[in-house]
Structures are given as structure tokens and as C-alpha cells.
Amino acid sequence: MNRPSSRHFLTASGLALLMALTPAIAQEPAAPGADAAQEAANNNQPLTAPDSQARQQQVMPESFADLVEKVSPAVVNITTTSTVSTPLVRGPQLPEGSPFSDLFREFGFPGFPPGEGNPFQRGPQREQRSNALGSGFVISPDGLIVTNNHVIDGADAIEIEFFSGKRLPAKVIGKDDKTDIAVLKVESSDALPFVKFGDSDRARVGDWVLALGNPLGQGFSASTGIVSARNRALSGTYDDFIQTDAAINRGNSGGPLFNMDGEVIGVNTAILSPNGGSIGIGFSMASNVVSKVVEQLEEYGETRRGWLGVKIQPVTEDIAESLGLAEAKGAMVTDVPAGPAADAGMKAGDVITRFAGGAVEDPRDLVRRVADAPVGEAVEVVVQRDGKPVELKVTLGRRELAEGTGGGRVDSAEASASDLMGMTLAPLTPEIAAELGVSRDMQGLVVQSVEPTGAAADKGLAAGDVITEAGQHPVATLADLEARIKEARDAGRKSILVMVRRAGEPRFVALPVG
């Protein structure tokens, strides 16, 4: 029995982000021009559009038929089979807490002794086979296939159906849930028609694109549209989606998004929809992200991303002004735990402006570029420190994730509290530190209250936060903070940069001093 499988919902303004498989599949006849496709595969050549045709179609395509005919032999349907367990219900379902549950527990039910819980919601598990469908595409003549990870996740068996109707079993080479990419492998006696990745960074908003796959169980299907937007981020750390209005539906997951040269510039992954159907907002993971992941999965069976070892935040206009930066660009370092960056001498308060020879636009840009950098090799990192550029050599490690949450409030009063910049502040004592769950050795000023309409509240400060630095100097007393504020005013600054720690987790905030 086929089943639809929906995962990874993201709600925005009442819409749902749907990543799904399909409940049925249909067979298609052999592709026109199949002999030419096989000849290309035998010669180890990818399927592409003729140059003249591509140039014409970029201007105003009269038809996509030639392009579809050329690349379709490399597009596949994927059927997965898995074993799922479901409760073997032995009576009508009763909700938890129902008075009938107490009745049956007290008097028993035929076949169930008194004292059991609700017998109708318990029982042995029944295993059954379940099928689900998706799409994919061949990237090498020896049978490497790319698809979405959610298409094959949890599958016991995977079968590939080619455009010609040929079917082959597949095994998983590697998968990456962070980009939702998986690489499969089939064994074929003949060389397989395949396609190649293009440069997704060259795609422009307004360019024509072609999506191929198996939507809604209807079998091989083509849809066209344009690039609606680029560099979309949904919910993942490494998101770089191409948004398109080409129709993408359930079952298109894992299928290719082609440019007019017949190159894959995206892997169709998700749609934004109130009802599960296409409304013209689809997302394809950019090929420049996918191709790097595929290379690592093929070589190692897993991803190996670089790790810098810092916590970072965006450089806002007011932070840039407080540091004397010409532009609000780069990634500001809020903390440097033990790791590659600490070994290289990076400090909290540094602003990373260049990485491996290229300018850093923002934290998202830095995260992706660090992930793509080779592990174990030294890279040049330029930081802005005390108004001057500092060059560091950082040997990257493997990426490790560290998450921190926090918040708190202070109930105890402090005699030496004072109002500054819209906050009531007091020196942090070991007792208050213990109450907040931070190190008893931490020094700084604890926020006791925040004026609701003040600048500190606008910046997100709250009771329980601890200010440990101001103007990139440690502060332990109210006098320390007042001195830093005076220095900023004397230098003609409109704001001062303070480090705020919440449950030990740091971030920088620029507060006005006028």
C-alpha cells in the first residue's frame, strides 16, 4: 500500500512548507532520442542542450521540447519500501481520561483483566510494508544518483525506475540531513545517461528554468518557470535555495531544476503551500551547495565541514558606528571557546571581514564558506580589531555544534544599584551568579530591571542579563561602565558596544550614549 510522507513543515503567515513524497507512480514510454542519450553515456558525456538552442531559449523560448527530450533520460523515479509498526487495536478507541476507561478498568472487558489501563489503546504491534515515491537524477555513467534525503530516509529497500521503464535496485552511498541531500548507487551493465551540475551563482532572477520529476504520482512530468529569487534561507544552517514558480508538487522532491543549457542548478526540495499543492512558490537547493555535499558523500560517505570555533552575530549599523567601521558588513565574534580560532589568537569583539581571500558579507556567508573550506588546512582570516585589520592563520577543525539557551530574572535587591542607559544595574556577586546559573567567578554588572520604553529594551536586554564588557574593555563596577561611556562620548561616538551574557551565552549590543 502506497503512502504519502510529509515532513519538515515550516509555517509562515498561515502557509505550510511541504516536503513530501507521492502515493502512486505511472509508467512512461521510452524517451525520444534515447539512442542519442545512450551514445552520450557510452562516450562519458553528460546530456546538455545544443549551444544554439540554449542561446535562443535564454532570450525567448518557443518550446522546451528539445531540452526535455535531451535531459529526460537522466531523470528517475524513486520508490522506497519500509516496514512500519502500528498498534493492533482490539476495540474502539477511547481518549485518555475518558470515564469509560475507568469503567473498563474497574470491571474489565472480555479478554482483558481488571486493573489494566485503557485496553483499547494498547496491544501488540503489527508490522506492515509501506511504499513512498520521489524523484532523482543520474550524475555519472556508472550509476550515481542524487535525490533528497527525506525521500529515502528510513527505507529498507530502494528501487530506481528510469525514463525508459528499466528498474534497478539502489543502495545509499551517503546522506546529509542538514542540506537534505542523499547519494544513491545502482549497478548497470550499460553506461547510464547522466547530467552535470551547473553554476547556480550564475542564475539570475528572471532566467528560465525547467523542473522534471514525478509529481502527484502521475509519472514523468515537466514544468517550466523562471528563477523568482535567489539565496533563500528556510530553516537550515546551510540553506541556499533558488525560488522558482515552476510547478513543484508532491513527488518532485529530489528532482532536478535545469537551466537552459541542460545543467542542474538546483535540487527540488520544498514548496510553500496552504494545501500541499503548488501555488508557484517552490524551492530548489542550489547546485553549488549540493555539488560539494555530493563530492564528500561520494568520497567519505559523510560530510566533512570546516569548523572555525567561534560564536558570531551580525554587524548592525549601530555596531559598525560604535567600532568606527565604514560598513555594516562582516561577522562579529561574541565568544571564542577552545578551538581553532582560539589557537590562532582570535578574540571576542573581533569582526571577521575576510576569510580565505574573500570578503565576508555577513554571518550566514561566513558559516557557508567555513563549511566548504578543507578540514585540517590553514586559511587566512582577517579581523578588524581596535580599528585596525589583523591577519590570522587558522587551521580549521571539523565542525561541532554548540547550542545555548538562557534567560533569567533577579529577585534580590542590591544596595549599590544604579540607573544607566535605561537599565538598573548592580555589580555581579557570587550569590547572584549562582542564582542566575553562571560561573561564580564571572565579573560584570547584572541587569536588575529594564525601562520598557528605553533603548536597552529595544535591543532585547532583560533582567538577569550580565554586562561583562563595554567599549571592548572589561567592566566589573558601575564606575568602570561610567568611564567607558564617558570615553565614547568624548570620542564623538553615538553608541557604545557592550557584551551581554545571558545564561553564560554572549552577544554584543550597541547602546546609545547620548
Catalytic residues: 150, 180, 253
What number of other Cβ atoms are within 10 A of residue 173's Cβ?
Answer: 17
Q: Is 199 annotated as a binding residue?
A: no
Alpha carbon separation from 499 to 319, 321, 436 (Å, rounded): 11, 16, 17
H/E element holding 346? none
**How many Å apart are CA 484 and CA 475, to the nearest integer?**
9
Dihedral angle sign, alpha carbons of residues 169, 249, 139, 397: negative
Residue at 99: amino acid letter: P
**How many Å apart are CA 261 and CA 263, to the nearest integer?**
5
- Between strands 495-502 and 144-148, the pairing is unpaired
E runs forming strands in 429-475 = 445-450, 466-470, 473-474
Q: Is 419 annotated as a binding residue?
A: no
Q: Is 422 annotated as a binding residue?
A: no
Contact (CB, 8 A) for 145 and 17: no
Please state the φ and ψ torsions of residue 488, each to the nearest 5 degrees.
-65, -45
> Helix (H, G, I), strand (E, B), or coil: what is residue 284?
strand
**482 Cβ contact list (under 8 Å, min separation 6):** 420
Q: Which residue has the cell 553515456?
A: 41
> Helix (H, G, I), strand (E, B), or coil: what is residue 310?
coil
- Phi-psi label, residue 345: left if phi above 0, alpha if psi -120 to 50, beta otherwise: left
Q: Is 150 annotated as a binding residue?
A: yes
- Phi-psi label, residue 154: left if phi above 0, alpha if psi -120 to 50, beta otherwise: left
Q: Is 301 annotated as a binding residue?
A: no
**How many Å apart are CA 424 and CA 364, to the nearest integer?**
34
**102 Cβ contact list (under 8 Å, min separation 6):** none
Contact (CB, 8 A) for 404 and 505: yes
**How many Å apart are CA 45 and CA 41, to the nearest integer?**
6
* DSSP-derived secondary structure for 397-418: EE-------------S--TT-E
List, as residue ranges, the binding site: 150, 180, 251-253
List, as residue ranges, the binding site for substrate: 150, 180, 251-253
